Amino acid sequence: MDLMAKTAICIVDQQRYQVVDGMRLEELESGLRQMIMADFPQAHNSSFICSEHLVHYRLAKMDAMIENDYRQNDKVNAQLSKILANHTYRVVDVNSELEQSLTFGQRVADAVARFGGSWAFIISFVLVMLVWMLLNVLPIFSHHFDPYPFILLNLFLSMVAAIQAPLIMMSQNRAAEYDRLQATNDFKVNSMSEEEIRVLHSKVDHLIQQDEPNMLEIQKMQTQMLGEIQAQVNELRRLQPRRRRNQS
């Protein structure tokens, strides 16, 4: 029988259409078929829907998918904004903060520690001791102010060590305070970054798991619509010569 002669009643408006102007519900994808059956509970798989109303339902499904994607994106953006609003910690420059709070004694302690841990101090200290011992051993002067075993030199060395040790410990305490502040700053910055990365991960996961499949499904529906239009056009072209012969 000629397809142009076949007709069916549309489940939506109860009007009769040619079968080439629509599709059976069983020919549709499950999501679209369920949407139509939700509006028309009396429909079944063999029910017919015309192309005009089918396009309407397809567009409605696309709009629902796009709206759901927007809603999910807004939800993720709201979570990210909430996290950023809750983190009131200001990232600080630890070096600048400590530099501004230094006292004169702390600056002196740092300078002594820097000089005491340098090659300049070691070389100069060795040279001073050598000159001291040579002056008190060699017969350069008639009187040696600190003859062997260099008791006065030992006294000066003990005094230097006694003064230098607390200064170095003060500098080490400042270094420990710097490390503590730096660790606290790093911990808070890392905590903020972790929260932001976690939310961004969820957003990327949403894009991969939902947005991309939805986009592919929308493209599939568009391709199906174009294919159906092309099939109808081909059917009309095939039947056009026969209709002309019948009219003649």
Within-domain flag for 154: yes
Please name the residues in contact with 153: beta carbons below 8 A apart, sequence gap of 6 or more: 129, 132, 133, 146
Within-domain flag for 25: no
Dihedral sign, Cα of residue 182, residue 187, residue 191, residue 193 = positive
pLDDT digits (tens, 9 = 90+) for 178-226: 888 888 888 888 887 887 788 777 777 766 766 667 676 777 777 767 7
C-alpha of 17 from chain center? 54
In which domain, by residue range, is 168 found?
Answer: 94-189
Q: What is the pLDDT of residue 50?
A: 86
Within-domain flag for 59: no
pLDDT digits (tens, 9 = 90+) for 15-29: 888 877 788 888 888
pLDDT digits (tens, 9 = 90+) for 136-152: 888 777 778 888 888 99
How many separate helices (H) and strands (E) can be counted in the chain? 7, 4
Q: DSSP of 117-134, one letter per residue? A: TSHHHHHHHHHHHHHHHH
Q: What is the mean pLDDT of the chain?
A: 79
pLDDT digits (tens, 9 = 90+) for 231-243: 667 767 766 766 6
Number of domains the chain contains: 1
What type of residue sits at position 89? Y
Within-domain flag for 68: no
- Cβ atoms of 152 and 128 within 8 Å: the answer is no
C-alpha of 235 from chain center? 52
Phi (first) and psi of residue 22, to 5 degrees: -175, -165
What type of residue sits at position 60? A
Please name the residues in contact with 236: beta carbons below 8 A apart, sequence gap of 6 or more: 20
Q: In 3-state terms, what secondary structure has residue 48? A: strand
- Cβ atoms of 12 and 40 within 8 Å: the answer is yes
Q: What is the pLDDT of residue 1?
A: 43
How far apart are the C-alpha atoms of 173 and 167, rounded to whole Å?
A: 10
Query: Greatest CA separation found in the chain?
Result: 149
Within-domain flag for 165: yes
Q: What is the pLDDT of residue 124?
A: 92
Residue 13: pLDDT above 80?
yes
- Cβ atoms of 60 and 41 within 8 Å: the answer is no
Tell me the HSE value of 32 on the side-chain side, using a 13 A CA sphere.
25
Q: Averaged over 119-131, what is the pLDDT?
A: 91
Within-domain flag for 18: no
Q: Averaged over 120-144, what is the pLDDT?
A: 87
Give whole-number Cα distances, 117 to 59, 123, 168, 200, in Å. Answer: 77, 11, 9, 47
Q: pTM of the predicted model, to two decimals?
A: 0.45
